[in-house]
Amino acid sequence: MSHSLKNHKEKKSRKTIKVPDFRKYSTKILVKKIFKSSSGIKILWDDNTSTYYNRFWLRENSPDPQTTHPDSREQLINLLSIPDDLSIKCAEITESGKVRIVWSPENKESFYDYSWLRFWGENRFNKQVGLPKQELWKNFSDKGLPKVTWSKENQNECLLKWLQHLKAFGLSLLKGVGSSPKGLEEILETFAIIKESNFGKIFDVKFEEEPISNAYTNIELPLHGDLCTRQFMPKYQFLHCLENSTEAGESLLADGFMLAKILKEKDPFAYNSLTKIDVHFINKAENSDYQWVEKVINLNKSGEVTEMRLSPWLRGPVCGNKEEEEHFYKAFRTFMKLAEDTDFQEKIKLEKGDILGFNNTRILHGRNAIGKGGERWLRGCYMDGDDVDSTLRMGRIPRPL
């Protein structure tokens, strides 16, 4: 028997809210039993799983209007105003299925929505709440590059699908957006703020007589990430193809996280060197001097790869002793050879009206040399990751066209 019913009526507040945020929570799994302890409660659910909640976390998230502002849903209570000796006098299930807690020494009662408790009990350790799971790839020779065709009438569904692919695979192609020079900004600004850099808000990738970057030449560009010289590399890069009538000039793409995984399996010592030894990343320009010191492969505390800094032409000295520097070069050359393996690359010739989006901290990008004749004009920009994540969690584009 679930939700063993107790007849406690919630007091009518000036504005009753069920949960201390704006998310919609629902679960079909009911509370079977509640166990209280000196530090919090444990809930045993109908599916025989259990979840734990700390007393202070529960107390400061009480959805009553003294604790949580009913409009902003932000906390009104100061954590320090909660007594040190906070304890749970009573924890039980009400008639409506809520979890009722009576606090001591305050002698205050709080009512918690069980779906909210279930969600945060399950997602406590989830660092990607509400987001698609990352899927590593070697190439897309079987199923083709993830893509979506643009439709202004169905822009919500279309952009969400595009961003889901972008989040999961690290790249995604949006086709058929036309070739208006303003098109890139117009579409991206429906859900995000474009990140400006010293290359401007929007940059044009086309041949220049006096280039400030190798990107603005016709030469081949080996696989790389952009702006490795910055503390915060732009998370995403978008390239809108306005013209591509030249011979060759195909875009090359590789999943840097997959390459790191393969390197770890094949040559753990090289992997270790690239995740441990710092190197200077230094730009080369007459009017700027951007520098940052970091590893090539960056990991989080759980040892998962979170960022790749592959910059074949913008590196300074290695921050290491004689042996470490030697290890670094050996490891970096091994990694570059791996990145050159065409089995781990996707090659695509962008077409007029395509927008290619990719995770600049994961996907390595480059291009074949551009042939003679015709014109190749890509418009590009950068973006941080938060707007993409927020849009995916909301499940809708915040500012449709």
What would the two tokens of residue 235 be? 């998370």
Q: Is 307 in the site for Fe ion (CB under 5 A)?
A: no
Closest CB 399 distance from Fe ion, rounded Å: 28
Select 158 or 383, whichever has its Cβ closest to Fe ion.
383
Q: Specify whether the CB–CB gap between 354 and 177 falls below 8 A.
A: yes
Pick the stretch among 139-147, 204-212, 222-230, 318-326 that binds Fe ion (CB under 5 A): 222-230
What are residue 291's DSSP bridge partners? 282
**Least distance from Fe ion to the Cβ atom of residue 366, Å:** 8
Select from 129-137, 156-164, 224-232, 381-389 the region that touches Fe ion (CB under 5 A).
Answer: 224-232
Spatial contact of 259 and 236, defined as CB atoms under 8 Å apart: no
Nearest approach, Cβ of residue 224 and Fe ion (Å): 6
Decide the pairing of beta strands 221-224 and 305-308. Answer: unpaired
User: Residue 109: which H helix or E strand, with range?
Assistant: strand 108-112
Q: Is residue 226 a contact residue for Fe ion (CB under 5 A)?
A: yes
| Least gap, CB of 360 to Fe ion (angstroms) | 8
Q: Which is nearer to Fe ion, 226 or 255 (CB)?
A: 226
Kindly give, in sequence order, each residue whose CB lies less than 8 Å from that of residue 160, ignoring residues fewer than 6 positions away: 391, 392, 395, 396, 397
CB nearest Fe ion: which residue?
A: 226
Taking contact as CB under 5 A, which single stretch among the options 52-60, 226-234, 246-254, 279-287 is the one that binds Fe ion? 226-234
The CB density around residue 266, as the number of other CB atoms within 10 Å, is 11
User: Toward Fe ion, which CB reaches closer, 93 or 378?
Assistant: 378
- Closest CB to Fe ion among 226 and 294? 226
* Least distance from Fe ion to the Cβ atom of residue 237, Å: 7
Q: Which is nearer to Fe ion, 226 or 354 (CB)?
A: 226
- Choose the binding region for Fe ion from 20-28, 165-173, 219-227, 355-363 (rule: CB under 5 A): 219-227
Stretch that binds Fe ion, among 51-59, 91-99, 159-167, 223-231 (CB under 5 A): 223-231
Q: Please, which residue, 227 or 263, has the CB nearer to Fe ion?
A: 227
Contact between 360 and 237 under an 8 Å Cβ cutoff? The reply is yes
Looking at residue 206, what DSSP letter applies? S
**From CA 310, how far away is CA 259, in angstroms rounded?**
12
Closest to 169 (Cα-Cα) out of 247, 258, 107: 258
Output the smallest distance, CB 232 to Fe ion, in A: 17
- What Rg, from alpha-carbon coordinates, does the chain have? 26
Element holding 261 (H helix, E strand): helix 256-266
76 neighbors 66 (Cβ within 8 angstroms)? yes
Rounded CA separation 214/220 (Å): 9
Minimum CB–partner distance for residue 139 and Fe ion (Å): 20
Size, binding site for Fe ion by CB under 5 A = 1
Q: How far is the CB of 298 from Fe ion (least distance, A)?
A: 19
Instruction: Tell me how far, at minimum, the Cβ of 214 lies from Fe ion, in Å.
Output: 9
User: Taking CB under 5 A as the rule, does residue 346 contact Fe ion?
Assistant: no
User: What is the C-alpha separation between 309 and 197, in angstroms, rounded?
Assistant: 18
Nearer to Fe ion by Cβ, of 60 and 226: the residue is: 226
From 6-14, 220-228, 247-255, 284-292, span contacting Fe ion (CB under 5 A): 220-228
Q: Does residue 360 belong to the site contacting Fe ion (CB under 5 A)?
A: no
Is 223 an interacting residue with respect to Fe ion (CB under 5 A)? no
Give yes or no for residue 281 binding Fe ion (CB under 5 A): no
* Cα(169)–Cα(62) distance, integer angstroms: 38
DSSP 197: B
Task: Supply 304's token pair.
Answer: 């998962």
Q: Does 359 bind Fe ion (CB under 5 A)?
A: no
Q: How is 344-371 classified by DSSP, letter by letter?
A: G-EEE---TT-EEEEETTTEEEEEPPB-
- Footprint of Fe ion (CB under 5 A): 226
